[in-house]
Structure 1
Amino acid sequence: MIRWGRQKQRNWQRRSKLEQVEVSTRWMLLLVPWVYFLSGMPQFFVEVTPERLPLTLSYLVLVLGLVQCVLGVRGLRRGVDHYLGAGEAPRRLLAAGVTTFAVTTAVVAVLIARGWAGDAAGAAMALFAGIASLTGVYGLMVPPRRGVAVTVGGCVLVSCVFAVAGMAWPALLGTLLVLGFGGLIGLFSPRCSVWYIDVMRELDRAKETQSRLAVAEERLRFSRDLHDVMGRNLSVIALKSELATQLARRGAESVVEQLEEVQQLARQSQTEVRAVVRGYREAGLETELAGARSVLRAAGVDCRIESAELGMAREAQSALGWVVREGATNVLRHAEASRCAIRLTAGAAGTAVLVMENDGLRPELPRAGSGLTGLRERLAALDGTLTAERDETAQVYRLRAEVPMSRGDRTEPGRGPGPGESVDVGPEEPDAVDVVVGAAGPAGGESRE
C-alpha cells in the first residue's frame, strides 16, 4: 500500500503544472454532485414522517438521488471533453438525468400532498441534493444565457408542482430560492472551471508557437547574414573564373594572376563564413545571464543573479554562457521550479565558478540526455569541470561549472569575437540554424542527466 502511494506521488510529480491543474480541476468537478447530495439528503430524511410508507418513499428518493449523482458524474466527465472539443455532448446522460429528477420531484410532491414531508425545507433539500448533477452537465452544453433561462424556468415549474401539491406560499418562495441558488451555482461552477482549463491550454499552445517563431526568425536572420557575406564574393569568384577560363583558352599569361585572385577570394569567403558562424554560435555570458533571467521570470520562476566582475578569456565566457543556457533549459523542462539562483564568483587558482540552483525537483527520469555530457566536453577542452547533483535534503538541483579565467586572450565581460576573427568549427558543434542565442531564450533539446 505504501509502495502504491509512493508510485502515485511520483507519477503526480512527473506531470507538468498544466496537467496537474487540469487533473485536480476535473476531480473537483466530479465531487460537486456528491457534495450537494450529502448536503441536502440528510436534512430531507430528518423531516420525513417516521412511518412505513413515508419512509419507503423517502428511501426511493434516496436511491433516485444516488442515481442522479452517478449520471451527473458521468455526464460531467463527458461534458468537460465536449466543452474542450474532444468529445460529443452527453445528451443521453442529460435526458436520463432529467427523467430521474422529474421522478424525484413527483415522489416529493406525493409526500407533500400527504403531509409526510414535514417542514418545507426538507422537500426543497431533497431536490437540492440532485439539482447540481443536472445543471452542471447542461451548463457545459449550452450558452450561459440559455442555461440560466432553463434553470430558472425549471425551478419555477417545480415550485408550481409543489403549489399544486398543497405547499403554502412562504414555503414555495423558500423552495424557489433554494433551488434557484443551488441550480445557478451548479450551472456556472463547472463552466468556469473548464473555461480556465481551456485558457491555460491556449496559453500553452501560444508559448510553443512563440518558441517556433523565434527559431524561424533566427534562421531567417542567419540566412540573411550568409547572403550578405557570400553573395558578393561568390559573384566575383564566378566572374573571375569565367575570365580565367577565357584567358586559359587564349594562352594568356595573366590567367595565373586571375586564378590567384580567385583563390584569395575563396579563402576570404571561408574566413568570413567562419566569423559569421562564430558570432552566431558565441554564447556571451552577460547576454545569456540576461536572457535566462528574462525567460525564467516570464515562466513564473524567481530568478536571482549574483555576478562578479571577472576579466575572463573569451573562451571561458563562451563556455559559461553555454552552461547558463543549458541550465535555464533544464529548469524550464525538467523541474517545477519557483526560484532559481545563479552565482558567478572567483574560485581558487584563478578560476571562475558558476553555480545554478533551483527547487521544484521531480523524480529522476530513467532516460538520460546528452546536454550535460556536451557541456562537460566543452569545459574539458578548457581544463574546466562540470558537476550536477540533487540535494534531496534541501530539495534543490545544483549545477556547478569551474573554468580557468586566464586561458587565451582576456576580454571584457560579454565581449564577442571581433571583426574578421575566425574559428574552426568542428563536427561536434550543432547546426547553427538550430540554435537560438541571446535573450530570445534557451535553446537545445538536451535532457538533464
Structure 2
Amino acid sequence: MRRPGRWWRGKSTLAKVETYTRWSFHFFPLVEFTAIGLPVFGRVGNGLAVGLVLPLCAHAVLCGVTASRSLDWTRGTRAQPVRLLIVLGVVSALLGTAAISLVKHGPGGKDLVSTMVPLCVGVLAFGAGTIALGVRGRLRVLGIVTGFAAYTGVMAFALGLDGRAALGTAFAVLLGGGGLSFTSVFSVWLLDAVYELDAARETRTRLAVAEERLRFGRDLHDVMGRNLAVIALKSELAVQLSRRERPEAVDQMIEVQRIARESQREVREVVRGYREADLGAELHGAQGVLTAAGVDCSVTGSATGLPPAVQSALGWVVREATTNVLRHGDARRCRVTLEPAGHHVVLTVENDGVERTAAQGAAEGPGARGGRTGGSGLAGLRERLAAVAGTLWAGPVDGGLFRVVAEVPLPPSASDAPASTAPADSASASAVSRSVSSVSEEVTP
C-alpha cells in the first residue's frame, strides 16, 4: 500500500487540482455537521437534539452526493443531476421551515431560538451553495440565492417571527448562501481554467512535435531532392545515349548507381539520427520543447568555438537529458549550463522532477566512464562521450533534484577545429551542381 505522500506526488498537477477541489466539497458535509449539528446537543434536550441532528446528517450527505455528481457534470462525465438538485432544494426548504416553526411552536426558551435560527440559516445556505455547483450562469446562481433568502423571510414572517427577525434571518441566508455559492462558482471556474491551460499546453506540445516533423521533412527533402533530380537527368541521358548506341551510357548508369547508393546512405543518416548534432541547435531546441511542455527552462552558455566532435557529443547529452525530463519526471524547472573549466567543457542539466526510478541512475562519480544504469540512454551517452575522452555523471542530488553532468576535454587546437571542417552539405551541393552541369552539356545537341 502506497503512502499518502507518495500517492499525492504521483499525481499530475491537473489531477492534484481536481482532487483538491473534490475533497474540499466532500469536506463540506463534515463542516455542516460540526458547525450546526453538534451545538444542538448542548442547548436542547437529548430527544429533540437527536430528532434535529439526524435530518441534518441526511441533508449533509445529500449535499455531498449532489456536489460529487455536479462536479462530474462540469467535467462532462455525467449528465446534469437535475433530480438531485430539486430534491436538495426541497429538503433544504423543509428543514428550514421545520426549524423556524419550532421557534414559535416548540418547547420554548431562549436556547431554542439561538439554536433553530442558525440551523435554518445553515441548512439553506449549504443547500444554495451546493445547488450552485449544478447550474451554469451567474444569473441562475443569483436567482437561487435570492430565492432562498426571499423564501426564508416570507416563511419566517408567516410562522410568527416579527418583521426584524424575519428580515435578519433572510439577510443571513443571503450572505451565507451567497458566500458558499461564490465559492462553488469560483472553484468550478478555476478547475475549468486549469483544464483549459492543460489543453493549451498539450496543443503547444503537439505544435512543437509538428514543427520538428516539418524540419525533418525539410532535411529529407534537401537530401533526396537534389540527388533524385540528378538521377532523373542522368537516367534520361543514359536512355538517349543507349538509343544512339554510344558507350557513354554505361558510364552514366554507373554514376546513377553511385548517386543512388549515396542517397540511401544519407537517408539512413537522417532517419537514424546519425548526423552530427549541433550543440547550439540542441540547446535552443531543448529550451523550446521544455517551455512548450510547461517546464521553466533556462539555458546558460554558448557552444561557439567548440570543436564539432565535442559539440556533437554534448548535443546528444542535451537531447537525451531533455527526453528524460519529459518522459520520466514531473519537472517544473530545468537548468542547462554550458561552461568551460580549464581545459575541459562541462555541461550540466538539472531539473526538480526526480524520476520515480532515480535509483536506477545512481551516481557513479564524476570520473565514471562506464558501468550500468537503469536504461540504455545513459549507457549510449557514455559511449559517445568516450569517443572524445569525456565522462558522464547522472543521479539525484540534495534538494529533490536530478542532475546530469558531462565533462569533455578540449584539444589544444580547439580554436582551429571549426575552420578545418568543410560543410558536407556544401561539398555535396557543389558536386551535384557539377554533375547537373555535365549532364546539361552532354544532353545539349
TM norm. shorter chain > 0.5: yes
Q: Is the 8 A contact 1:384 1:404 kept in 2?
A: yes
Q: How far apart in 2 are the matches of 1:325 and 1:141?
A: 47
Map of 1:4-153 to 2, 5 A cutoff?
7-42=3-38, 50=44, 56-114=47-105, 116=108, 118=110, 122-143=115-136, 144-153=138-147
Give the 3 Å change call, closer, same or farther, for CA 184–370 of structure 1 in structure 2. farther
Corresponding residue number in structure 2 for 1:255: 249
Look up the equivalent residue of 2:99 and give its one-letter code: V
Q: Is the 8 A contact 1:275 1:420 kept in 2?
A: no
Deviation at 1:67, TM superposition (A): 0.9
Q: How far apart in 1 are the matches of 2:411 and 2:175?
A: 74
SS of alignment partner, residue 78 of structure 2: coil
Q: How far apart in 1 are the matches of 2:282 and 2:422?
A: 12
Q: Is the 8 A contact 2:157 2:166 kept in 1?
A: yes
Q: Is the 8 A contact 1:337 1:358 kept in 2?
A: yes
Look up the equivalent residue of 2:50 and give its one-letter code: Y
1:350-404 deviations in Å (ceiling 9; x for gaps): 432222233353543799544333323332333322221123x443222111223
Q: Is the 8 A contact 1:244 1:255 kept in 2?
A: yes
Q: Is the 8 A contact 1:225 1:276 kept in 2?
A: yes
What runs of 5+ residues in structure 1 fail to find an aligned partner? 423-449
Which residue of 308, 311, 314 maps to 1:317? Answer: 311
Q: Does 2:351 correspond to 1:358?
A: yes
Look up the equivalent residue of 1:181 and give its one-letter code: L
Deviation at 1:72, TM superposition (A): 0.9
Corresponding residue number in structure 1 for 2:439: none
Q: Is the 8 A contact 1:40 1:128 kept in 2?
A: no
1:292-311 deviations in Å (ceiling 9; x for gaps): 44555676655555537784
Corresponding residue number in structure 1 for 2:201: 207
Look up the equivalent residue of 2:14 and give its one-letter code: L
Deviation at 1:159, TM superposition (A): 1.8
Corresponding residue number in structure 2 for 1:443: none
Map of 1:334-413 to 2, 5 A cutoff?
334-347=328-341, 350-361=343-354, 363-364=356-357, 369-391=375-397, 393-406=398-411, 411=417
SS of alignment partner, residue 342 of structure 1: strand
Task: Provide the TM-score with structure 2 as the length reference.
Answer: 0.78
Q: Percent identity?
A: 41
Corresponding residue number in structure 2 for 1:194: 188
Q: Is the 8 A contact 1:14 1:362 kept in 2?
A: no
Q: How far apart in 1 are the matches of 2:68 and 2:173?
A: 23
Q: Is the 8 A contact 2:124 2:148 kept in 1?
A: no
Look up the equivalent residue of 2:401 and give its one-letter code: V
Q: Highest relative contact order (Cα 8 Å, sep 6+), 1 or 2?
A: 1
Q: How far apart in 2 are the matches of 1:24 and 1:71?
A: 20
What runs of 5+ residues in structure 2 fail to find an aligned partner? 361-373, 429-445
Instruction: Tell me how many residue pairs correspond in the alignment.
Output: 410
Q: Is the 8 A contact 2:358 2:396 kept in 1?
A: no
Q: Is the 8 A contact 2:125 2:180 kept in 1?
A: yes
SS of alignment partner, residue 347 of structure 2: strand
Give the 3 Å change call, closer, same or farther, for CA 128–335 of structure 1 in structure 2. farther
Give the 3 Å change call, closer, same or farther, for CA 286–224 of structure 1 in structure 2. closer
Q: How far apart in 2 are the matches of 1:275 and 1:212?
A: 25
Corresponding residue number in structure 2 for 1:438: none
Look up the equivalent residue of 1:155 and give its one-letter code: A
Q: Is the 8 A contact 1:57 1:107 kept in 2?
A: no
Task: Provide the TM-score with structure 1 as the length reference.
Answer: 0.77
Corresponding residue number in structure 1 for 2:443: none
